[in-house]
């Protein structure tokens, strides 16, 4: 199965030239309540534990931690929707023209592990969905079990640096996998990195804002052996010249990085008959 990263023309050029994607701070993603949503759902699940006397103290500590923490979580996103040719994704991320860069998910996960990114398939729902809440409650139970039980979990507080504690690091990363049901059609796969207290992000400009990010390197021959490139919708008379240009660009840049150029031979145009700005 393939997953695809949608980007603009300019973004595509930069990604291929420097061979990296930018994993964005979770607080600066398109969904402006991104971290709050997952956190609040977890908080509701923890509240259920407060009715259990044994878990009440641990649950209260978790609630306090979840409300007070502001972790350095960074997310790199891919979509499994419509074989890299989803009109909603084009409109959202490439509305003036762009590309979808696709990789086999198994190769991408293996590569991400080397980069210390965790992979999650997003789960969608609302905080009132029974199944959704139950899954979150199960995560809390797993964390207590990993600690050796509620009493052992209690004894580990306070956590001065959660990124150095595998239990709370797991909790924070799980927060990043839950999204509102409104985004379900994206079929999003996420690669998540939690920075430690001694690591620092880089910054890029977006409009007048500085956006924190960390690099997700693409310098991997196995990835590019099976990579796919999809061009955003455009009018037929522009497609041929555009396709030839991107093929030459891929051959030159990938060769420069000593990476396979197979994807240059199979660049394909979106099948969506959508007249975007770039296409006239």
Of the candidates 40, 45, 114, 39, the residue with the CA atom closest to the CA atom of residue 71: 39
Tell me the average pLDDT across 215-233.
97
Tell me the average pLDDT across 80-96.
91
pLDDT value for 279: 46
More confident site: 183 or 68: 183
Please give the helix or strand (H or E) that residue 5 lies within, else none: strand 2-8
Residue 275 within a domain: no
Q: How far is the C-alpha of 249 from the C-alpha of 16, rounded, in Å?
A: 9
* 3-class state of residue 272 by DSSP: coil
Residue 274 within a domain: no
pLDDT value for 267: 97
Look up the domain containing 64 and give its range: 5-269
Q: Lowest mean pLDDT: which of 53-57, 92-96, 253-257?
A: 53-57
> How would you classify residue 207: left for phi > 0, otherwise alpha for psi between -120 and 50, otherwise beta?
left
Residue 168 within a domain: yes
DSSP 8-state code for residue 166: H
- Tokens representing 88 are 């909603």
Q: How far is the C-alpha of 47 from the C-alpha of 204, rounded, in Å?
A: 38
What is the pLDDT of the chain when averaged over all its residues?
Answer: 85
Per-residue pLDDT of 15-74, as tens digits, reads 999 999 999 998 887 665 666 777 777 777 776 666 666 777 777 777 777 777 777 889
Cis? peptide before 20, omega within 30° of 0: no
Please give the helix or strand (H or E) that residue 152 lies within, else none: helix 150-155
Total number of domains in the chain:
1
What are the angstrom distances between the C-alpha of 139 and each of 13, 62, 136, 226, 276? 40, 12, 5, 35, 43
DSSP 8-state code for residue 79: E
φ/ψ of 214, rounded to 5, equals -125, 155
- Number of other CB atoms surrounding residue 41 within 10 Å: 22
What are the angstrom distances between the C-alpha of 3 and each of 77, 103, 112, 226, 241? 9, 6, 14, 12, 26
pLDDT value for 159: 57
- Tokens representing 168 are 């709370």
Q: Lowest mean pLDDT: which of 149-163, 209-223, 237-251, 259-273?
A: 149-163
Q: How far is the C-alpha of 146 from the C-alpha of 153, rounded, in Å?
A: 9
DSSP 8-state code for residue 226: S
Residue 280 within a domain: no
pLDDT band at 101 (very low <50, low <70, confident <90, very high): very high
Residue 279 within a domain: no
Work out the percent of the chain whose per-residue pLDDT is above 90: 48
Tell me the average pLDDT across 140-159.
74
């Amino acid at each position: 199965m393939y997953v695809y990263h949608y980007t603009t023309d300019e973004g595509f050029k930069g990604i291929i030239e420097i061979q990296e994607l930018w994993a964005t701070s979770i607080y600066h993603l398109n969904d402006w309540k991104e971290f709050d949503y997952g956190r609040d759902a977890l908080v509701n699940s923890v509240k259920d534990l407060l009715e259990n006397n044994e878990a009440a103290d641990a649950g209260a500590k978790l609630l306090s931690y979840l409300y007070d923490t502001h972790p350095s979580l960074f997310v790199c996103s891919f979509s499994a929707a419509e074989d890299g040719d989803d009109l909603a994704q084009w409109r959202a991320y490439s509305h003036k023209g762009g590309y979808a860069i696709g990789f086999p998910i198994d190769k991408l996960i293996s590569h991400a592990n080397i980069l210390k990114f965790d992979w999650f398939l997003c789960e969608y729902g609302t905080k009132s969905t029974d199944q959704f809440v139950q899954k979150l409650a199960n995560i809390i139970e797993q964390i207590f079990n990993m600690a050796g039980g509620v009493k052992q979990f209690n004894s580990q507080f306070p956590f001065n640096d959660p990124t150095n504690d595998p239990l709370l690091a797991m909790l924070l990363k799980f927060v990043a996998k839950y999204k509102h049901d409104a985004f379900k059609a994206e079929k999003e796969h996420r690669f998540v990195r939690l920075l430690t207290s001694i690591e620092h992000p880089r910054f890029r400009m977006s409009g007048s804002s500085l956006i924190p990010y960390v690099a997700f390197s693409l310098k991997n021959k196995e990835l590019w052996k099976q990579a796919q490139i999809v061009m955003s919708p455009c009018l037929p008379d522009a497609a041929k010249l555009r396709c030839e240009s991107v093929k030459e660009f891929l051959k030159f840049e990938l060769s420069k990085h000593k990476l396979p150029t197979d994807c240059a031979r199979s660049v394909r145009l979106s099948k969506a008959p959508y007249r975007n700005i770039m296409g006239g």
